[in-house]
Amino acid sequence: MKKTFASLALTLLTLFANGVVQAEAPPEGYRAIFDGKTLDGWQARPHFNPTELANMPAEERDAKLTQWMTEAKQHWTIENGELVNDGKGPYLTTNDNFRDYELLLEYKTVPRADSGIYLKGTPQVQIWDSTEEAKFKIGAGLGSGGLWNNSPGAPGKDPAKLADKPFGEWNSFKIRQIGARTSVWLNGEKVVDNAIMENYWDRKSPLAVEGPIQLQTHGGEIRWRNLFVREFSGDEANEILSRQDNDSFKSLFNGENLDGWQGAVDNYEVVDGAIRCKAGHGGLLLTDDQYSNFVARVEFRLPPGGNNGLAIRSPLTGDAAYQAMTELQVLDNEHPKYAKLDPRQYHGSVYGMIAAKRGYLRETGQWNFQEVTVNGSRIKVELNGNVILDADVADVTEFMAGRPHPGKDRKTGYFGFAGHNDPVEFRSVSIRELPATPEASN
C-alpha cells in the first residue's frame, strides 16, 4: 500500500528529529571516498614520511598500520553521515593513491582548532581558527586554505583571501592537484591559484608523483562530510595545465604542416595534428625565428624506447647536445636499453651536464605536458606539473665523459627538436618570449 503524502512527511520529520541524515550523492564524474557509514577504504597514519613507510619491511609496515588504525578508532567516530574526530590520534588516510585529481569535501570545526588536509601524503592545505590572535604571527589571520608548509614567501603558502565561515557553519573545499600544481577554492573563493606544492619531506625533490589524502587531527573537534574525488586522465590533466596563461603564448605549429620550421624537414612528418620524427631518421627541426629568453610549452608522446630532445638556443647545424646551449632529453626513461645511462642523459636533463629528477613521465604511449623556462643561463623544466629541473648551466664545471659543451653559454638561437631515429611525436607547441638578457648575442 502506498504511503500518503502526510505519512511520508511524518517519516522525514522523524528521521531529522532522530539526527539521521543522508549523505549527498557524488556530483557527476566524482566518486565518494567516504560512504557515510563505515571506514571502508581508509587506513590510519600519523605525520609520517611516506617514503620511510614504503621502505619498511612488509611485516613491520603492516604492524605499524594495524597499530595506527587501532589508535585511530579511539578518536574517530561516524555520526549522521559525518566523520568526527576529537582532535587526537592518527590521521585517517585513504587506501587509494591519487595522481591528478579534484577533491571536494566539507568540514566544520571549533574555536582554536588547527587541522589540515595532506595531499599525496604531504602537509598540507591548512585549516585553522582565523580569529586566534596568538597565531596571527604565523598566518592564522589570513584564513584557511593555504599550502602552509610551502617555504616562506612561496606562491600558495598564504591564501589569497580570508574565506572562512563563522564557527558552527560548514565550510567547503575544492582542491585540484595536477602533478604538484595545486589550486584551492574555499567556500567558492579561489585562495590558491595553480601553485607548486612543495615536498615537505624532501625539499630538493618534487612532490611524490602520487599518494593518499589524509585528514589531519590537531587539537580540536573537526567534522568531515561529502568527500568526493574525481581523477583526471593524462589528456585531461594536460589540458588543465595548458590553460594557465595560455593567451600569453604564441603557437609555433599549425597542426597541419611544417610551415614556420626549417632544417631536417624531410625527416619529420605531420600525423593526426602532431609533428612526428620519421622512424630511422633524425636531425634538427628548428623554428624559423631565434629566441633568447622564453617559456616553451609542448606535449610529446614517446614510443617504447623513444629518444629525441628539445634543442635550446641552437645553431642551424651541429649536435645540439654540444653546439646549442643544450639538448633537453626527451626519453623513455624506463626502457631496459637505457638502464645504465649517466643520470645526465635521462628525460628532462640538460644533456651531459645536469640531471633531472626521474619518475614523472606518464606511461609510454600517453601524451605528456612539458614547460621549459630559459632565462639567462638558468633552465627550469616542468613535466606534467612537476618541476624536475631548475638549475644554472653557468655553474656546471663537470661534464659527462669529460667532454666540454662549447655551446652552453650561447645567449640566443633556434628552438626545436633533435631527432634520434625514433617516431617521437610533438603537438601543441607554443612559446612566450621573456625580456632579453642584456647584450644577448650568438
What stretches of 222-331 show up as alpha helix (H) in DSSP? 234-243, 320-323
Could you tell me what percent of the chain has a pLDDT over 70?
94
Q: Can you give the pLDDT at residue 24?
A: 83
Spatial CA neighbour of 64 closest among 53, 73, 75, 51: 53
Q: Can you give the pLDDT at residue 23?
A: 63
Question: For residue 53, what are the CA distances in angstroms to 57, 59, 65, 212, 387?
Answer: 9, 11, 10, 13, 24
Q: Which three cell numbers stand for residue 31?
A: 566518486
In b/e form, how buried is each residue of 63-80, taking b as 16+ CB within 10 angstroms?
ebbeebbeebeebbeeee
Q: Can you give the pLDDT at residue 1?
A: 38
Question: For residue 431, what are the CA distances in angstroms to 271, 273, 370, 416, 428?
Answer: 21, 18, 12, 11, 10
Q: Can you give the pLDDT at residue 436?
A: 83
Please name each of the domains of the chain with its CATH number.
21-232 (2.60.120.560), 238-433 (2.60.120.560)
Higher pLDDT, 440 or 272: 272
Is the pLDDT reported for residue 13 higher than 70? Answer: no
Residues 6+ apart with CB under 8 A from 146: 125, 126, 139, 156, 157, 158, 159, 184, 191, 192
Give the pLDDT confidence of 402-414 residue by residue, as tens digits.
999 999 999 999 9
**Whether 31 contacts 229, CB under 8 Å:** yes
Is the pLDDT reported for residue 415 higher than 70? Answer: yes
Which of the four pLDDT bands, split at 50, 70 and 90, describes residue 4? very low
Pick from 185-189, 391-395, 437-441: least confident: 437-441
Strands 189-196 and 82-85: unpaired
Is the pLDDT reported for residue 93 higher than 50? Answer: yes
**Whether 431 contacts 249, CB under 8 Å:** yes
Is the pLDDT reported for residue 267 higher than 80? Answer: yes
**Whether 263 contacts 316, CB under 8 Å:** yes
Is the pLDDT reported for residue 16 higher than 50? Answer: no
Q: Can you give the pLDDT at residue 46?
A: 97
Is the pLDDT reported for residue 5 higher than 50? Answer: no
Question: For residue 226, what are the CA distances in angstroms to 22, 35, 300?
Answer: 10, 9, 37
Is the pLDDT reported for residue 321 higher than 50? Answer: yes
**Whether 413 contacts 324, CB under 8 Å:** yes
Average pLDDT over residues 130-143: 92
Q: Can you give the pLDDT at residue 12?
A: 35
Task: Name the pTM for this structure.
Answer: 0.92
Q: Which three cell numbers stand for residue 278?
A: 620519421
Average pLDDT across the chain, whole number: 93
